[in-house]
């Protein structure tokens, strides 16, 4: 019979982890949860400090899970084994591969963003849905953006749904969170042009000069970007629509503009280590 470190869902440590599913408790404790081998591995590679990892051995049997456990052990991070019923209590979703980590919340400060060369930032202004935020982070990662700035978010960046929908790339892209006014001042100080996506712009994105240091700004699908960004913009660009819909999903919009900016910079395709495409 397999033995586990924790078998009761009433264990105080388990109760404290369950509380981290709520933003108020995450902010109070300064901690958050990361689920899944791929996400935990990307967090480790991104410099996130893991406090502890909980594993359900009967569920963590895949090659990816075993490799992740090996890397966690090699860094001296505490691993606690839990029974199935305990893991079901702490897991936010079912398909986590039997791994959940508790980590210290990153700072997400503007000062942590890279500023060398010709930076290409993606600014996400006022987007509320965690799924959309995660997809935007994934687009920024795929296109090789220098960094990502989230202004006036409707949710915290440690929301489990953001981590899940980003496939853990929230740990691979330098990211900051700030008020719109603060972000605008920071971009001005760094002499970064502000390019705002708007369906009402006269200039199509392929006619816009995106080759220099710039920040591409996308907003909520319902209301678009706020007035502050419209007033601060150096250029409004649109993605011409050929069908019945008048706009694209915000993550699709961001991906098109980021890849176009990279195409203009390289004359071919975005720089990267491989030629993979798709998920």
Chain segment 38-67, per-residue pLDDT in tens: 999 999 999 999 999 999 999 999 999 999
Comparing 35-44, 125-134, 174-183, the range with the smallest average pLDDT is 125-134
- In this structure, are 33 and 122 located in the same domain? no
- In this structure, are 250 and 216 located in the same domain? yes
> What is the structure's pLDDT at 157?
93
- In this structure, are 100 and 145 located in the same domain? no
> What is the structure's pLDDT at 271?
46
- In this structure, are 16 and 149 located in the same domain? no
- In this structure, are 78 and 145 located in the same domain? no
Pairing assessment for the beta strands 99-104 and 31-35 based on DSSP bridges:
antiparallel
> What is the structure's pLDDT at 247?
63
Name the pLDDT band for 263 (thresholds 50, 70, 90).
very high
Domain that includes residue 213, residue range? 110-266
Domain count, the chain: 2
Name the pLDDT band for 275 (thresholds 50, 70, 90).
very low
In a domain, 130, yes or no: yes
> What is the structure's pLDDT at 277?
41
Residue that finishes a domain, picked among 104, 127, 157: 104
Residue 276 has pLDDT above 50, yes or no: no
In a domain, 273, yes or no: no
In a domain, 144, yes or no: yes
- In this structure, are 132 and 233 located in the same domain? yes
Residue that finishes a domain, picked among 104, 137, 169: 104
> What is the structure's pLDDT at 177?
95
Per-chain mean pLDDT for the chain: 89
- In this structure, are 92 and 125 located in the same domain? no
How many other C-beta atoms lie within 10 A of the C-beta of residue 272?
Answer: 11
Name the pLDDT band for 258 (thresholds 50, 70, 90).
very high
β-bridge partners, 161: none
Alpha helices in 80-226, H assignment, sequence order: 84-90, 130-143, 160-165, 180-189
In a domain, 272, yes or no: no
- In this structure, are 90 and 177 located in the same domain? no
- In this structure, are 144 and 99 located in the same domain? no
- In this structure, are 129 and 42 located in the same domain? no
Q: Indicate whether this model's pTM tops 0.75.
A: yes
CATH code, 45: 3.30.1330.30
In a domain, 195, yes or no: yes
- In this structure, are 158 and 61 located in the same domain? no
In a domain, 5, yes or no: no
In a domain, 166, yes or no: yes
Name the pLDDT band for 274 (thresholds 50, 70, 90).
very low
Residue that finishes a domain, picked among 54, 85, 104: 104
CATH code, 230: 3.40.1280.10
Q: In whole angstroms, what is the distance from residue 164 CA to residue 197 CA?
A: 26
> What is the structure's pLDDT at 94?
67
- In this structure, are 133 and 242 located in the same domain? yes
In a domain, 37, yes or no: yes
pLDDT digits (tens, 9 = 90+) for 61-106: 999 999 999 999 999 999 999 999 999 999 987 677 899 999 999 9
pLDDT digits (tens, 9 = 90+) for 185-201: 999 999 999 999 887 78
């Amino acid at each position: 019979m397999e033995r586990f470190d924790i078998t009761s869902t009433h264990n105080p440590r388990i109760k404290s982890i369950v509380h981290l599913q709520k933003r108020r408790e995450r902010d109070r404790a300064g901690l958050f949860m990361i689920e899944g081998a791929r996400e935990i591995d990307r967090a480790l590679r991104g410099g996130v400090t893991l406090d502890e990892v909980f594993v359900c051995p009967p569920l963590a049997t895949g090659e990816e899970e075993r490799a992740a456990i090996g890397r966690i052990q090699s860094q001296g991070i505490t691993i606690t084994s839990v029974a199935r019923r305990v893991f079901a209590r702490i897991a936010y979703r079912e398909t986590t591969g039997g791994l959940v980590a508790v980590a210290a919340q990153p700072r997400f400060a503007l000062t942590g963003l890279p500023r060398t060369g010709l930076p290409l930032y993606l600014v996400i202004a006022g987007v509320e849905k965690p799924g959309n935020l995660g997809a935007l982070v994934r687009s920024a990662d795929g296109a090789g953006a220098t960094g990502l700035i989230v202004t006036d978010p409707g949710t915290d960046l440690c929301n489990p749904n953001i981590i899940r929908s980003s496939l853990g790339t929230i740990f691979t892209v330098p990211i900051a969170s700030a008020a719109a006014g603060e972000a605008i001042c920071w971009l001005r100080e760094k002499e970064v042009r502000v390019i705002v996506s708007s369906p009402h712009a006269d200039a199509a994105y392929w006619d816009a000069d995106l080759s220099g240091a710039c920040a591409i700004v996308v907003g909520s699908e319902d209301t678009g970007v706020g007035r502050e960004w419209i007033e601060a913009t150096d250029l409004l660009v649109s993605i011409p629509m050929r069908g019945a819909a008048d706009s694209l999903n915000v993550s699709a919009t961001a991906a098109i503009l980021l890849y176009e900016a990279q195409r203009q910079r390289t004359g071919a395709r975005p720089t990267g280590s491989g030629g993979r495409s798709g998920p």
